[in-house]
A = this chain, B = another copy of it.
Amino acid sequence: MRVVVPFDARDAKTRLDPFFTSSERAAFAEAMLDDVLSAIESAGGSPDVLATAPIDLDVPVTVDERSLDTAVNDILAAAGPDNPIAIVMADLALATPRALDRLLTAEGDVTIAPGRGGGTNALVVRHPDFRVDYHGASFLDHLRIAAEVGATVREIDSMRLATDIDERADLAELLLHSDGKAAAWLRDAGVELATENGRVGVRRID
């Protein structure tokens, strides 16, 4: 199955500023992208990257400077029962082949893996009329859009797919649950687990 991975190659992971510098954020984002692409390939998917600027990768890259919604919806116009297309976010660095296999093999016109805080972290679309709207509580919007076009929806209940890495607290999840390139990058950068109020967070050592 074609698995499209949108990637911001210009100013990635802005919510990790100032915990990381701009160049660190770019390097960390690329390490997460590498982990995601590897997991997709291990799950039997065929990943390609939809990037906001040119980037050198071992998989096909399409550069599209338009908004995420516009670019993705152009791609989804080709989706249908015989041509499923998946959209998987580039910061799902906890994603395992097993979790992605559950996503790619689930039945339903639209399969959604919700993200924390109402997001949509991964989608498989098998219905020609479904379109995305990633702004705000996109999970609820996508349920509504699916209902409007008469598409059945299947939710994937996965902690690994629900955990997009956007904020400082999310970094703890990577250190706890991954041994991929992004987790290694964090450790090399001196980021380690730190016990905070109730949940475990991170700190950075010199």
Interface centre among A15, A117, A136 (most CB of B within 10 A): A117
Say yes or no: B118 contacts A176, CB within 8 Å: yes
Q: In the complex, which residues of chain B have a beta carbon less than 8 angstroms from the beta carbon of A161?
A: 159
Contact with B along A19-46 (1 / 0, CB 8 A): 0000000000000000000000000000
Complex CA distance for A201 and B167, rounded to whole angstroms = 14
Is the CB–CB distance between A140 and B176 below 8 Å? yes
Task: Determine which of B136, B140, B162, B195 lies in contact with A159 in the assembled complex, contact meaning CB atoms within 8 Å.
Answer: B162
Q: How many residues of A contact B (CB 8 A)?
A: 33
* Residue in A99, A137, A161 with the greatest tally of chain B CB atoms within 10 Å: A137
- Contact of A48 with B by CB under 8 A: no
B-contacting residues of A (Cβ < 8 Å)? 15, 96, 98-99, 114, 116-119, 136-137, 139-140, 157-162, 166-167, 169, 172-173, 176-177, 193, 195, 197-201
Closest 8 CB pairs of A and B: A117-B199, A118-B200, A159-B162, A137-B200, A117-B200, A159-B159, A136-B195, A157-B158
